[in-house]
Amino acid sequence: MEKQLELYDITIIGGGPVGLFTAFYSGMREMKTKIIEFLPFLGGKVPYFYPEKIIRDVGGIPHVSGEKFTENLIEQAKTFDPEIVLGEQVTEMEKLEDGTFLLTSKSGARHHTKTVVLATGYGTLKSVKLTIPGAELFEDSNLHYSIRKLESYRDKHVLISGGGNSAVDWANELEPIAAKVSLVYRKSAFTGFESNVTRMMNSSVDVFNPYELTELEGKDGRIASAFIRQVEDGSIHQIPVDAVIVNHGFQIDLGSIAGWGLTMKQGSIQVDESMHTSIPGIFAVGDIASYSGKLQLIAGGFNEGPIAVNHAKLHISPKDELETIYSTNYAPLTEKYE
């Protein structure tokens, strides 16, 4: 072990929303905290894929954009000055004789920590690409797999391919902005939230299901029209478009963490009620964690983070009594914001 390696109480792998809130709570517990994020920025997939998507399922926040939500989380996470490492992917884990962990990144950088919290989401996410021949030729023009700015679609004819939450949400968000929104989905029943599907079906969005996108016709390097096929009778329909948005889900890659010896089930890490994985001292929270009764919401992850931190602290000092703390009367916070 190199002498220059600092020992941290808790190292959080993943700087998305759940990892950020976990870091804040870890600071409240006066734990020496490090965040390691694979991307060159904090916030995870929210600021990258959904900067303008409105988030409404966090208590006390009626509505907030993904971008603003991320800004607030980053500010909150930095309250107690955690060490933040960006652009680094942890690949190896070694449990040392004293029970601490040595983490090694792809670049060879090493990190020493007493406990680990995995807040990686589903790992590295890549949008599932269209398999239509030649589709990649339009990726630099008007074929998109995420929406950065809603305003860029104003008064345009937009075709969305997909039937999950993202596709339905974007259809609803674009409907009052675009000149026309069409949505094509290969199945008869949508998988998005019922209320959002109902809103879409009662709007001006042209819904084609069960249909699938089969061909893109280009002009001057841009998609000019899309061809969709009725799944049941095979009939073809042509739609003039200014932009095509594809929401076919993500390819999930947990990377080398999947080989650490953790108990896994269908790509997720199994945890107990304390967010403990099968390796003592390693916890998992957020999308990557799996247990009975899991709530697949950011708000659920915000509950899991503090649970993991509390039990990480007990793992370090099992004989200490863990008192309940509240931000409303926590002296370091109340004094800071007086």
Q: Is 155 within the bounds of a domain?
A: yes
Q: What is the pLDDT of residue 88?
A: 92
Place of tokens 């983070």: 305
Q: Is 1 within the bounds of a domain?
A: no
Span 99-113, mean pLDDT? Answer: 95
What percent of the chain is predicted at pLDDT more than 90? 70
Residues contacting 170, CB < 8 A, separation 6+: 147, 160, 245, 247
Q: Are residues 235 and 269 in the same domain?
A: no
Q: Are residues 150 and 228 in the same domain?
A: yes
Q: Is 282 within the bounds of a domain?
A: yes
Q: Are residues 140 and 64 in the same domain?
A: no
Q: Are residues 133 and 244 in the same domain?
A: yes
- Which one is predicted more confidently, 23 or 169? 23
Contact 30, 9 (CB under 8 A): no
- Which one is predicted more confidently, 49 or 189? 189
Confidence of residue 331 (pLDDT cuts 50, 70, 90): confident
pLDDT above 90 for 149? no
With 0-12 / 13-18 / 19 or more C-beta atoms within 10 angstroms meaning exposed / middle / buried, residue 270 is middle
Q: Are residues 311 and 233 in the same domain?
A: no
pLDDT above 80 for 50? no
Q: Are residues 182 and 164 in the same domain?
A: yes
Q: For residue 163, give both structure tokens.
A: 């039937």
Q: Is 255 within the bounds of a domain?
A: yes
Confidence of residue 266 (pLDDT cuts 50, 70, 90): confident
pLDDT above 70 for 337? no
- Which one is predicted more confidently, 85 or 127? 85
Span 102-131, mean pLDDT? Answer: 89
Q: Are residues 168 and 226 in the same domain?
A: yes
CATH of the domain at 199: 3.50.50.60
Upstream peptide bond of 40 is cis (omega within 30 degrees of 0): no
Q: Are residues 23 and 45 in the same domain?
A: yes
pLDDT per position as a tens digit, 293-314: 998 888 999 999 999 999 999 9
Q: What is the pLDDT of residue 3?
A: 54
Q: Which domain holds residue 81?
A: 7-125+251-336
Q: What is the pTM of this model?
A: 0.74
Across-strand partners of 13?
36, 118
Q: Are residues 41 and 104 in the same domain?
A: yes
Q: What is the pLDDT of residue 52?
A: 77
Q: Are residues 314 and 290 in the same domain?
A: yes
The count of domains in the chain is 2
Strands 143-144 and 243-246: parallel
Among the listed ranges 28-37, 52-61, 73-82, which one has the minimum average pLDDT value? 52-61
Among the listed ranges 89-103, 104-118, 142-156, which one has the minimum average pLDDT value? 142-156
- Average model confidence (pLDDT) across the chain: 91
Among the candidates 225, 248, 271, a domain finishes at 248
pLDDT per position as a tens digit, 9-47: 999 999 999 999 999 999 999 999 999 998 889 998 787
Q: Are residues 73 and 216 in the same domain?
A: no
Among the candidates 200, 229, 248, a domain finishes at 248
Q: Are residues 203 and 120 in the same domain?
A: no
Place of tokens 């790509």: 267
Q: Is 2 within the bounds of a domain?
A: no
Place of tokens 């329909």: 237
Q: Is 43 within the bounds of a domain?
A: yes
Q: Is 37 within the bounds of a domain?
A: yes
Confidence of residue 328 (pLDDT cuts 50, 70, 90): confident
pLDDT per position as a tens digit, 172-208: 999 999 999 999 999 999 988 899 999 999 999 999 9
Q: What is the pLDDT of residue 90?
A: 94
pLDDT above 70 for 235? yes
Among the candidates 224, 248, 272, a domain finishes at 248
Span 80-86, mean pLDDT? Answer: 96
Contact 159, 184 (CB under 8 A): yes
